[in-house]
């Protein structure tokens, strides 16, 4: 006997909500790690430069300036 549509729809909605919560938690953890660890930002620069650009832009939009400049200065000094 096939399940009725209503319980199936509830399961689908619960699954979608669980995925959204997991995605938000993952994004928060990624942002927190990038916000607190300059070496991790350097790794992100090498592997996922678009994500690092979104991090810099979101901080600039919220009024926090200078993170990009400090990172570039440190990475340039470490290179020399």
Q: Residue 39's domain spans which residues? A: 9-78
How many Cα atoms occupy the beta-carbon half-sphere of 2 within 13 Å? 4
Calpha distance 62→23 (Å, rounded): 22
pTM: 0.79
Cα angle: 28, vertex 30, 36; to 5 degrees: 100
Q: pLDDT tens for residues 52-79?
A: 999 999 999 999 999 999 999 999 998 8
Given a cut of 70, whether residue 1 has pLDDT beyond it is no
Whether 15 is covered by a domain: the verdict is yes
4 falls within a domain: no
Domain membership flag for residue 65 = yes
Helix axes 5-36, 49-61, angle to 10 degrees: 80
Q: Say if 3 falls within a structural domain.
A: no
| Structural domain count, the chain | 1
Taking CB atoms within 8 Å and a gap of at least 24, the contacts of 24-29 are none
């Amino acid at each position: 006997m096939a399940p009725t549509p209503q319980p199936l729809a509830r399961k689908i909605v619960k699954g979608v909500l669980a995925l959204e919560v997991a995605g938000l938690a993952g994004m928060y953890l990624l942002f927190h790690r990038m916000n607190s660890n300059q070496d991790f930002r350097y790794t992100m620069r090498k592997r996922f430069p678009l994500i690092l650009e979104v991090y810099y832009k979101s901080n600039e939009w919220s009024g926090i300036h200078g993170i990009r400049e400090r990172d570039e200065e440190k990475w340039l000094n470490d290179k020399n």
